[in-house]
Amino acid sequence: MRDALWLSLVCSVGATALAFVLGLPLAWVLARTDLPGRHVVRALVLLPMVLPPVVGGVALLLAFGRRGLVGQYLDDWFGIRLPFTTWGAIVAEAFVAMPFFVIVVEAGLRSLDQRYEEAAATLGARRFTTFRRVVLPLIAPSVIAGAALTWARALGEFGATILFAGNLQGKTQTMPLAIFIELQTNLGGAIALSLVLLALSVVVLVSLRDRWFPA
Amino acid sequence: MSLEARVGVRLGALALDVALDAEAAQTVVLLGPNGAGKTTVLRVIAGLLALDAGRVVVDGQVLDDPVSGAWIPTERRPIGYVFQNDALFPHLSALENVAFGLRARGARRREANQQAQVWLERVGVAEYADARPGALSGGQAQRVALARALVLEPRVLLLDEPLSALDATARVDTRRQLRRHLDDHPGVRIVVTHDPVDAMTLGDRVIVLEAGRVVQAGPLAELRERPRSRYVADLVGVNLYRGSADGGRIRLREGGELVAAGHGGGDVFAVVHPRAVALHRLEPEGTPRNVLAGTVDHLDVEGDRVRVIVAGAVPVTAEVTPAAVTELELTAGAAVWASIKATEISVYPA
């Protein structure tokens, strides 16, 4: 049980970090450029939100599996194997949860007055400097809210994880998977684990209440 | 230092085509009504908007030229930009705002902060160095914004409506100080405003824009004496007529006739200062060659003078004392006669 809880925390935080690293530039591109095809990119990014997670897991296997489109090269060239590893669980959770991050951060960027970025440019700041010193601090509330949503979604991820990463105790068996297994033999244990997840979710909700439910 | 720009931009309904040349140590004011394209000109010079046609050249360096494809991005242009409503970074202190440009250009934090402090002192807000922009008054924020642009010693300083966000008291004060800082700045200065008082206080030369075109450019005195559009005439507060002259008689486009002191022929403007217009309740007799019948449309009180707007075949505005208003019982709708001496009408070719 301790294994599952610890693994859940590691994977959900890892997935949130991955969503941050990939999602932040993506949100910027979607909100601030008129790159051709960005509507297609947005659709692809948001797809996991509406896709059944199990289907997402199948897609991940086809893409990153040992013989997958990308996976075979990862294995051949770098010796990286994602399926049925902790990294696989992180990728699966990030895949499902990242849209929440992108959507919230993109909205934050869109509501940010572009004059601040223009002012920074007239002061000689390159785009990256502007992003780091002006944009990021100003959209910090959106980034935090997006990260919290992403983390919560990743914590509860079941379908894509079990398909892509399997259910290996201590390696890929996160809390939701452990609850599923426990439920078949030990109802009390399943309830106990569920309560732990419930408590975590409530804590997140309460800590963000001012942002989402202002008094 | 010099700026040569021909700005051709299409933005929705606005087709902008403006030529603008400016020398160092000279303040050029772009004056015009809202939507004339003033800010767009600044944005083009700053590289926040690309040209469709034309060129922007600073000191011989081409910054934007759609024909040759030359393009220098904003962050590498030698410009300073003071935005309307200041656009200070809300998460940084006044000092950090001013130091931002120096840091972005590679200065160390200590040096940048020192220099920023010097500029905050120069614009008179040193005691607010640690304050966030949200805690500053409009006038203070505007000064910080000015310091933020000036600290980089830009070759071209662009100011977009620098005084429009201020209340009347702060405005007078800030305007006077702004003039001083502009005079101290060795580069080209371009100020956008829709306020003629700002234009007169700040500008050495004025370019009047209307609907994306230059309608008049020159020193202020010339604008005042020889306005070439209704907008400019209203700005400087004179009566402007257009018509065709034949000797001393000017047949006005909108109907009616004026008699001026002898003059050639052709398409002309005629200007009458409201001070030179006399009002009478009865038809006057005497030397004035122009006697216009009309009714009082409305009165504008301006300090110790009253401007009486008279509607008639030839509309005219007269400037009289409050005493005269009482004496002649001038109220809206009253029938009056306006007289203008021929020698008070200045005529110049259109």
Locate the chain B residue with the closest alpha carbon to A121.
B75
* Rounded Cα gap, residues A33 and A54, in angstroms: 33
pLDDT band at A34 (very low <50, low <70, confident <90, very high): confident
Strand partners, B3: B22, B58
For residue B237, give both structure tokens. 């507060």
Cβ–Cβ gap B83/A119 under 8 Å: yes
* Rounded Cα gap, residues A23 and A102, in angstroms: 5
User: What does the pLDDT look like over A83-109, one tens digit per residue?
Assistant: 889 999 999 999 999 999 999 999 999
- Residue B96 predicted with pLDDT over 80: yes
ipTM exceeding 0.90? Answer: no
- Residue B230 predicted with pLDDT over 80: yes
Coil/strand/helix, residue A43: helix
pLDDT at B263: 63
- Residue B130 predicted with pLDDT over 80: yes
Interface A-B: count of C-beta contacts within 8 A: 60
Locate the chain B residue with the closest alpha carbon to A113.
B87
User: A109-147: buried (b, 16+ CB within 10 Å) or exposed (e) per residue?
Assistant: beebeeebbbbbbbbbbeeebbbebbbeebbeebbebbb
Contacts of A129 in chain B (CB under 8 A): 104
Sign of CA dihedral A156, A158, A164, A167: positive
* Rounded Cα gap, residues A198 and A210, in angstroms: 20
**Domain housing A13:** 2-212
Under CATH, which number does the domain B2-231 receive?
A: 3.40.50.300
Among residues B240, B233, B223, B245, the alpha carbon closest in space to that of B349 is found at B245
* Rounded Cα gap, residues A80 and A64, in angstroms: 10
Cβ–Cβ gap A116/B83 under 8 Å: no
Task: Give the total number of structural domains in chain A.
Answer: 1
> Which residues are CB-contacts of A122 (< 8 A; sequence separation ≥ 6)?
B46, B48, B74, B75, B77, B79, B80, B81, B149
pLDDT at A211: 63
Asked if B125 contacts B53 with a C-beta cutoff of 8 angstroms, the reply is no
Contacts of B74 in chain A (CB under 8 A): 118, 121-122
Cβ–Cβ gap B74/A121 under 8 Å: yes
Contacts of A121 in chain B (CB under 8 A): 47-48, 73-75
Q: What is the CATH number of the domain that holds A75?
A: 1.10.3720.10
Return the domain boundaries, chain B.
2-231, 242-349
Determine the average pLDDT of the residues in A53-77. 87
pLDDT band at B343 (very low <50, low <70, confident <90, very high): confident
**Architecture (CATH level 2) of domain B242-349:** Beta Barrel (2.40)
Asked if B39 contacts B84 with a C-beta cutoff of 8 angstroms, the reply is yes
Sign of CA dihedral B99, B101, B107, B108: positive
Q: What kind and span of H or E run contains A162?
A: helix A159-164
The DSSP letter of residue B315 is -
Q: How far is CA A30 from the centre of its chain?
A: 17
- Residue A213 predicted with pLDDT over 60: no
Task: Please give the share of chain B, as a percent, with pLDDT higher than 70.
Answer: 99
pLDDT band at B116 (very low <50, low <70, confident <90, very high): very high
Among residues B274, B291, B284, the alpha carbon closest in space to that of B328 is found at B284
- Residue B139 predicted with pLDDT over 60: yes
Determine the average pLDDT of the residues in A56-84. 85
Q: What kind and span of H or E run contains B210?
A: strand B205-210
User: What does the pLDDT look like over A14-26, one tens digit per residue?
Assistant: 999 999 999 999 9
pLDDT at B46: 96
Determine the average pLDDT of the residues in B298-310. 89
Determine the average pLDDT of the residues in B30-56. 94
Beta-sheet pairing, B156-160 with B188-193 = parallel
Q: Does B105 touch chain A (CB under 8 A)?
A: yes
pLDDT band at A212 (very low <50, low <70, confident <90, very high): low
Asked if A2 contacts A168 with a C-beta cutoff of 8 angstroms, the reply is no
**Could you say which of A113, A124, A134 has the minimum Cβ distance to residue B105?**
A124
Coil/strand/helix, residue A50: helix
User: What does the pLDDT look like over B179-200, one tens digit per residue?
Assistant: 999 999 999 999 999 988 888 8
**Could you say which of A113, A123, A138 has the minimum Cβ distance to residue B152?**
A123
Strand partners, B156: B79, B188
Q: Does B73 touch chain A (CB under 8 A)?
A: yes
**Could you say which of A116, A118, A126 has the minimum Cβ distance to residue B48?**
A118
For residue A187, give both structure tokens. 């109802």
Residues from A contacting B (CB-CB < 8 Å) are 113, 115-116, 118-126, 129, 133-134, 137-138
Locate the chain A residue with the closest alpha carbon to B83.
A119
**Could you say which of B46, B89, B91 has the minimum Cβ distance to residue A122?**
B46
pLDDT at A114: 93
Coil/strand/helix, residue A199: helix
Sole residue written with tokens 């922009």: B133
Angle at B35 between CA B32 and CA B36, to 5 degrees: 45
User: What does the pLDDT look like over A109-119, one tens digit per residue?
Assistant: 999 999 999 99
Q: Does B148 touch chain A (CB under 8 A)?
A: yes
Cβ–Cβ gap B101/A123 under 8 Å: yes
Cβ–Cβ gap A119/B81 under 8 Å: yes
Q: Do B2-231 and B242-349 share a fold?
A: no
Locate the chain A residue with the closest alpha carbon to B42.
A122
> Which residues are CB-contacts of B97 (< 8 A; sequence separation ≥ 6)?
B88, B89, B133, B144, B145, B148
Determine the average pLDDT of the residues in B121-127. 93
Locate the chain A residue with the closest alpha carbon to B158.
A122
Indicate which of A32, A123, A129, A131 best probes the interface with B, i.e. most B CBs within 10 Å of its own CB.
A123
The DSSP letter of residue B83 is B
Cβ–Cβ gap B152/A124 under 8 Å: yes
* Lowest mean per-residue pLDDT among A103-107, B141-145, B161-165: B161-165
Q: What kind and span of H or E run contains B11?
A: strand B2-11
Residue type, B278: A
**Could you say which of B47, B87, B152 has the minimum Cβ distance to residue A119?**
B87
* Rounded Cα gap, residues B240 and B336, in angstroms: 20
pLDDT at A208: 74
Q: How far is CA A177 from CA A54, A171, B54, B80, in A?
A: 13, 12, 65, 59
CA–CA min distance B148, chain A (Å): 8
Return mean pLDDT, chain A.
89
State which of A156-170, B60-74, B257-271, B300-314 shows the largest mean pLDDT.
Answer: B60-74
Strand partners, B53: B8
Cβ–Cβ gap B104/A138 under 8 Å: no
For residue A153, give both structure tokens. 């979604």
